[in-house]
Chain A
């Protein structure tokens, strides 16, 4: 069995998969990867199921080696780059990490979260059905903790012949503004507040973590106060506490809470929202269920199609090859246009 060794990493470098479902009734947060698209892409590149646990990097990169064999690795998300013994690996391309080589992961640059997938995933015991680390409940991860220098992660390894792959794919259509459905407590706000919410710029504050993103913007006034009897919370709920500054609840959110929730980010846009860095300005756009559902379907189809878009790196991509796969339009340099998150 091959082990992945952590030489260095940031404080919130964690194992994350789809999340921990089925225990919210006991107050257990689902947690899970903040950007499911990037998680899926990294996994598909090394031949894993899209929701296999990977290492999630938040803001900072890290450095790794392996012992006992070679590993097939891929890094996707937020424009983070990886290199092996100082040689850069092209974006959205997997690579073979040989025993004794050093894998360096750069900082996420265009967003906050990047994912390192290893073929076969990690041979780590799940807690309550998931490897996802949840900070506040000390569940999941490696022995209930985030990763740190000196950690040793046993890897399953698929046993398959390993071959570096490239994923040439554009992100799904998103349409700019972060789409929300109003509710469940939009009736706790006067119509002027709803208008203000939908027509104003909000900025992601530095208080943004896996639990929630505090936004700053115009003060959102309540019509009937901000004390409600606590009720259920879901990913993407936008709650408005007494300060009038909204908080978007993310994967490590609580299971129930007591501030009125003006709207909910649609499922297809939550990963994109998670990649907005502190200081980024955004707007919300209200949509009906039909549009949210179409976006959810679009994302699901996009994820399902990923494995068919894999190209072995040995093909040494040419413009002709890409055009033959009908993945890009117009005349572009295939290598220069290799897209990233």
Chain B
């Protein structure tokens, strides 16, 4: 049963087609499937498409695009849409949890009435799916966070958290690809750089890939960080 997507106007130059309001592989698969179709059909005035967890934002030139025709195309194409579930790679990402590496670990553990080690155990035993890359170059939005440690975002966002921060916000998890503002909670730090403009590939991960976090001691930080600075991915590709 294909749900009827919601058509949400985003001003005069974009529209968001929303397949759901939750993090779900099938919802994400529908988004990726519609993205394939819109890109292939390339209606006049199309500027670009932005697939996210649960919706596809289509950006266009308002003057040259026939908006009604675009909506008709979307309505028609989503009637019998099948989700696209890409088979991706699985990455092992080393993380130093807590202390100076993850300043919110203790507080988040306390919020859920558990010890920091219990929280680390739960966070590092899940398999996360990369639903989308967004917000900043290479920022991975991860689904698969255990509901027991889902944590409402901070009321006051922070102006700057360091690159490599392993964080959670609501039911989402992520890795900061660079210093960035954030309203999420910092659990740890990885030397892995998801985005490195001087490296080939510039972007390490792709939507549809999976990630597993591996707790490592602070004593390993310097060696891993040095390798990452030298252009090594540090993240290890695993066989799923």
A residues sitting closer than 8 Å to B (CB atoms) are 21-29, 127, 136-139, 144, 180-185, 226-237, 241-243, 254-258, 261, 264-268, 289, 292-293, 295-297, 300
Contact = CB atoms under 8 A, between A and B. Distances in A.
Contact of B18 (A127, A231, A254, A268): A231
B25 to A, nearest CB: 13
Given A184-B8, A237-B11, A268-B12, 19 more contacts: A24-B59, A26-B133, A27-B137, A139-B137, A180-B11, A184-B16, A227-B170, A228-B21, A229-B171, A230-B52, A230-B134, A232-B14, A234-B59, A236-B11, A254-B134, A255-B50, A258-B153, A261-B10, A292-B62
B87 interface: no
Contacts of B13: 234-235, 267, 296
B59 A181 contact: no
B3 interface: no
**Secondary structure of the B side of the interface?**
loop
A12 B45 CA distance: 32
B109 interface: no
Nearest to A296: B62
B34 to A, nearest CB: 13
B136 A29 contact: yes
B67 interface: yes
A237 B11 CA distance: 8
Contact of B156 (A243, A292, A293): A243
B48 A234 contact: no
Contacts of B169: 258
Given A27-B133, A27-B136, A227-B153, A181 B55 contact: no
A78 B53 CA distance: 40
A21 B136 contact: no
A24 B134 CA distance: 7
Contact of A184 (B10, B132, B138): B10
B157 A232 contact: no
A234 B21 CA distance: 19
Interface string B1-17: 00000001111111010
Contacts of B78: none
A24 B50 contact: yes
A139 B135 CA distance: 15
A297 B62 CA distance: 8
Given A28-B137, A183-B10, A265-B11, A256 B62 contact: no
B57 A230 contact: no
12 contacts: A136-B136, A136-B179, A183-B9, A230-B53, A232-B14, A232-B16, A233-B57, A234-B57, A242-B155, A258-B170, A264-B14, A293-B12
Contacts of B171: 229
A183 B8 contact: yes
Nearest to B156: A243
Contacts of B156: 242-243
A300 B12 CA distance: 14
B55 A231 contact: yes
Contact of B10 (A26, A234, A268): A234
B213 interface: no
